Amino acid sequence: MDQPHEEIPPKIGDLLPAFVVQTTQGKKTLPDDYAGSWVMLFSHPGDFTPVCTTEFYSFARNEQAFQQLNTQLIGLSIDTVFAHMKWMEWIQNNLGIQINFPIIADELGNVAKRLGMIAPERGTTAVRSVFIIDPTGHIRIILNYPAEVGRNTNELLRIIHALQLADGYDVKMPANWPNNELIGDKVILAPPSDVMKVQKRIEEAEAGEVECFDWWFCYKDLPEES
């Protein structure tokens, strides 16, 4: 007897699959309702759990920083919309911060399963997944954390900012940018793909337009952001 076909979760570079979801702010259509914005779609194991509460508190406190990067937040867990709303109320009443972003009530786990957010050894709860989605609906980053380790909000902001600059200036970002141990806050140029471009890169280095360790490892300052 044929086994039921399971869809392979999307990968980096794929379009986010289309979903109509119920959230704490009503029905949403993904990714269409967010066209033109960056999106951080993140799952959590469950409402009224301590690590998740610290994460939501941090995301809410830093929501303005996400907005400055044209990034909207969407949470998700396999809980009801009523549980989400009660938990949001508890956070506001007890921790003094309001959750303004929507949380998907994925009661049947359909979205979490399709996106590969469920670890079989964890039963039916979602792991701490993060999908960074660009304004065209393409998935740019996928991160998965275990239930016992909370996410780093500053790192999430860093990678969104880095992606946006890499796209905008056609460059690559070094490790630990903007505090790389070799080149500080400078950015890396793609290696030349043919001998003519190698010669051009060497000439750019000689003219002081770029800095290089070698022709295949060159870097430069970004223009000042307005």
Per-residue model confidence as pLDDT tens for the chain (226 residues): 445 456 799 999 999 999 999 999 999 999 999 999 999 999 999 999 999 999 999 999 999 999 999 999 999 999 999 999 999 999 999 999 999 999 999 999 999 999 999 876 655 677 899 999 999 999 999 999 988 999 999 999 999 999 999 999 999 999 999 999 999 999 999 999 999 999 999 999 999 999 999 999 999 999 876 4
Which pLDDT value is given to residue 1? Answer: 44
CATH 3.40.30.10 segments of the chain: 19-169
Nearest-5° Cα angle at 11, 7 to 12: 165
* Terminal alpha carbon distance of the chain: 62
Q: Which is catalytic among the residues 16, 30, 39, 52?
A: 52
Closest of 219, 21, 202, 13 to residue 110, by C-alpha:
21
Class of domain 170-226 (CATH, top level): alpha beta
C-alpha to C-alpha distance for 53 and 58, rounded to whole angstroms? 9
User: What topology does CATH give the domain 19-169?
Assistant: Glutaredoxin (3.40.30)
To the query of whether residue 52 is one of the catalytic residues in this protein, the response is yes
C-alpha to C-alpha distance for 37 and 226, rounded to whole angstroms? 20
CATH 3.30.1020.10 segments of the chain: 170-226
